[in-house]
Amino acid sequence: MKKVVSLMAAFLIVAGTTAMAAEKHSHDSHDSHAAPAASKAQPKASKDKTPNPVKDEMVALNEAFKNLLDAILLNEPEKVELPFHNVHRYKEKTMAAAKKGEIKLPKNNDKFAEFEKLDEKFHHDLEGILAAADKKDMKALTAKTHKLFDACVECHSKFRNK
Ligand code: HEC
């Protein structure tokens, strides 16, 4: 787990730099292997007029989650982790915005503390997924991914969907 965390920290720096470069030169794409996920999430995020860190994080998360499903189906656990670096980068921004009270949830905004709790638990469970992928434990990876999906639905039904 320590290895995963420090790997992630190293990656956050690389992904952050890459994304900043991508923002400035969106046609310039000779960057690192973090580029595919970053460049897909980035344009959508920067086009929005009102900053919405939760949405930006979700776009990245959605991509990482779909990649996770493919990685399980194709038995390629080594491909799980990379797009999640992007998610973690956005999570940092979401947390900073939350501290400043800048987040407005589509539904139940007055229950923000509950949202934060769900989010924390979600990211904790995500660590478990990355650890299972790291160990190439497909059985655990699959079970944890089912659980994670339930958490997507739970949070959306409370804080997003009408
Ligand atoms: C802790 C709460 C929470 C969890 C967990 C969560 N989401 Fe979300 N998600 C939201 C909220 C809130 C929005 C609405 C953001 C907005 O429109 O302001 C959202 C929006 C989205 C969107 C729409 C983005 C857009 O462009 O409008 C997608 C796609 C998405 N989530 C995917 C996922 C997936 C996939 C998972 C699980 C792997 C997940 N979410 C887990 C809270 C959550």
What is the C-alpha separation between 119 and 71, in angstroms, rounded? 24
The set of protein residues with a Cβ atom below 6 angstroms from ligand 1 is 52, 54-55, 58-59, 61-62, 65, 105-106, 115, 118-119, 122, 148, 151-152, 155-156, 159-160
| φ/ψ bin of 32: left (φ > 0), alpha (ψ from -120 to 50), beta (otherwise) | beta
Residue nearest to atom 37 of ligand 1 (CA): 152
Q: Which residue has the tokens 């890459």?
A: 18
Which position has the higher pLDDT, 122 or 29?
122
Best residue for ligand 1 mutational test, from 103, 110, 119, 156 (most atoms within 8 Å of Cβ): 156
Which position has the higher pLDDT, 31 or 62?
62
Find the range with the poorest average confidence among 25-34, 50-59, 68-77. Answer: 25-34
pTM of the model: 0.77
pLDDT of 11? 46
pLDDT of 50? 79
Q: Which residue has the tokens 């995500």?
A: 126
Q: Which residues of 50-70 are buried (b: 16+ CB within 10 A; e: fewer)?
A: eebbbbbbbbbbebbbebbee
What is the C-alpha separation between 100 and 94, in angstroms, rounded? 10
pLDDT, averaged across the chain: 81
User: How does residue 22 score in pLDDT terms, banded at 50, 70 and 90?
Assistant: very low
